[in-house]
A = this chain, B = another copy of it.
């Protein structure tokens, strides 16, 4: 295992300190927790939004803490759900009196622990609602999941629900907005090589030199098939078709596209893939309101990519483009 670390048992701790040090104008770490919250928390009179999950998916979720997205991100150990008490600390810290929405990726541990935290918060009189993101169309049920997994489409939920909260919507409205995004967003990924959880020290799965896997999860969960390595064009067609089976985009529909690198796939390859995806969308007469290319929901150093399509309605599009400012969007800005 070749990693730039100090201590495998301290990697999440060290990472959180690095995020807090680099992005101190955006966020701070709640003492003695694995929670990053907006620097000024809570925001009074605004619905708070809390997300999180296992670490190893950076910039998700700490990179999305800031204006127009998340109020808090709770980090678990690598690929491990955060505990209920950590989520509870996050909820308490960001409740500005209008309640808190939890955005949970659909993994059994996450759902259980976030729900337990919600109960703890309700017992203290905080109004908490939750949504579960399950955008991965690859498989039903998986290693750590009952139903479909939540992957990169979660970023659109953060962004659009975040815009709703920022505009002053109440908890029910923010939840409805998040659910509308979840209904309209579908994703699927593929991998060319596995990743290594630091504490494990060995790859989570293996792929032969001429093999790729279609539909791999972001923790290396099995996908739908292993095949000899396909071209970018073939891969784009395959992922698009599977996503489209669920999303039923029509000619003239507007979509936002997220081409998400899983870790070690160079931006060069991501753009080659983007070109192929765009060609398919053009063939179908689907208009792209936005095409985002880069690393948003990673799997450590896994090689691979995922395709996310969000079917837009005018209200979703407006919120997608609403102002937001978070570390993952930080670019030469105070």
Near B by CB (< 8 A), chain A positions 12-42 give: 14-19, 21-23
Secondary structure at the A interface, as helix, strand, loop or mixed, is mixed
Q: Is the CB of B232 within 8 A of A6?
A: yes
| Residue A235 lies at the interface, judged by CB distance under 8 Å to chain B | yes
| Residue A315 lies at the interface, judged by CB distance under 8 Å to chain B | no
- In the complex, chain B residues whose CB is within 8 Å of the CB of A330: 292
Q: Return the chain B residue nearest A207 by Cβ.
A: B2
Which of B78, B229, B271, B332 has a CB less than 8 Å from the CB of A159? B332
Q: Is the CB of A295 within 8 A of B271?
A: no
**Chain A contact patch, size range:** 35 or more
| Residue A171 lies at the interface, judged by CB distance under 8 Å to chain B | no
Chain B nearest CB, measured from A69 CB (Å):
9
Chain B nearest CB, measured from A226 CB (Å):
13
Bound form: Cα–Cα A4–B195 in Å: 17
- In the complex, chain B residues whose CB is within 8 Å of the CB of A291: 21-23
Q: Return the chain B residue nearest A22 by Cβ.
A: B291
Q: Is the CB of A271 within 8 A of B320?
A: no
- Given A21-B291, A274-B22, A303-B2: A331 in contact with B332 (beta carbons within 8 A): no
| Residue A286 lies at the interface, judged by CB distance under 8 Å to chain B | no
Q: Is the CB of A266 within 8 A of B268?
A: no
- In the complex, chain B residues whose CB is within 8 Å of the CB of A301: 264-266, 303
Q: Is the CB of B265 within 8 A of A235?
A: no
| Residue A283 lies at the interface, judged by CB distance under 8 Å to chain B | no
| Residue A170 lies at the interface, judged by CB distance under 8 Å to chain B | no
Which of B4, B229, B321 has a CB less than 8 Å from the CB of A272? B4
Interchain Cβ contacts under 8 Å between A and B, 16 examples:
A4-B270, A4-B305, A5-B232, A11-B272, A17-B275, A18-B270, A19-B274, A21-B291, A22-B271, A22-B293, A55-B268, A78-B268, A195-B266, A266-B301, A301-B303, A320-B332
